[in-house]
């Protein structure tokens, strides 16, 4: 009778243990991404952000996000940024339209790696809008005009130098007139001295 009573008391507790839910040991999972997997974008993203159900382990060489262009060129830039459950990386300016691949690997909060591949696509308009604007060629035009201005200023500079340091035609002409006048005055004095009474041979006779 005692054994029967003991078994009757233990049975409910054993049933409760068997029916109790087992603890969850599932690994962390990706729950969202920006851009979304398979998204067709008309504007190029500046970064990629992955969101997990728990915060992954920050840092370490086991984590990476790689984004490749349609031609296979990697466009991710810099280090990963960990912000709670979000992991992000910056992107270079895309130069190709088409499908971009996204591969990631992070270490979950329980120490196990999580990895998967996603994709998104960019339109021609998105690539064109993201391209840097071409700078205007105004400096080149200014450089072309500078030699012309210098050439225009050269004659004026030469005239100024001639006026300051050189001999002008007017000064030469004035010198010639003064010399002629001086010679004429000398000749006039000589003639007058010869025509005076008592000068020369007449005065001796």
- The predicted-structure confidence for 40-54, as pLDDT tens digits, reads as follows 999 999 999 999 999
The pTM (predicted TM-score) of the whole model is 0.55
Report which secondary-structure segment, H or E, holds 102: strand 98-107
Nearest CA to 78 out of 68, 93, 92 is that of 92
Burial of 3 (0-12, 13-18, 19+ CB in 10 A): exposed
Which residue reads 């910056």 in tokens? 90
| Mean pLDDT estimate for the chain | 77
Q: Confirm or reject CATH 3.40.720.10 for domain 30-130, answering yes or no.
A: no
| Segments in the chain below pLDDT 50 | 6-10, 13-18, 20-24, 201-205
For 194, phi then psi, to 5°, come to -75, -30
8-state DSSP, 48: E
């Amino acid at each position: 009778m005692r054994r029967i009573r003991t078994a009757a008391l233990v049975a409910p507790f054993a049933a409760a243990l068997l029916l109790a839910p087992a603890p969850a040991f599932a690994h962390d999972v990706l729950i969202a991404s920006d851009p979304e997997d398979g998204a067709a974008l008309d504007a190029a993203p500046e970064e990629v952000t992955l969101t997990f159900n728990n915060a992954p382990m920050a840092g370490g060489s086991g984590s990476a996000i790689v984004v490749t262009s349609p031609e296979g060129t990697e466009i991710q830039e810099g280090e990963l940024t960990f912000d709670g459950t979000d992991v992000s990386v910056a992107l270079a300016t895309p130069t190709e339209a088409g499908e971009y691949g996204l591969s990631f690997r992070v270490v979950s909060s329980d120490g196990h790696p999580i990895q998967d591949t996603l994709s998104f696509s960019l339109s021609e308009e998105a690539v064109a809008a993201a391209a840097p604007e071409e700078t205007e060629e105004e400096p080149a035009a200014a450089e072309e005009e500078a030699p012309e201005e210098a050439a225009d200023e050269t004659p004026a500079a030469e005239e100024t130098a001639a006026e300051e340091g050189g001999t002008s035609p007017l000064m030469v002409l004035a010198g010639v007139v003064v010399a002629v006048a001086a010679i004429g005055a000398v000749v006039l004095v000589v003639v007058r001295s010869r025509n005076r009474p008592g000068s020369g041979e007449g005065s001796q006779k």
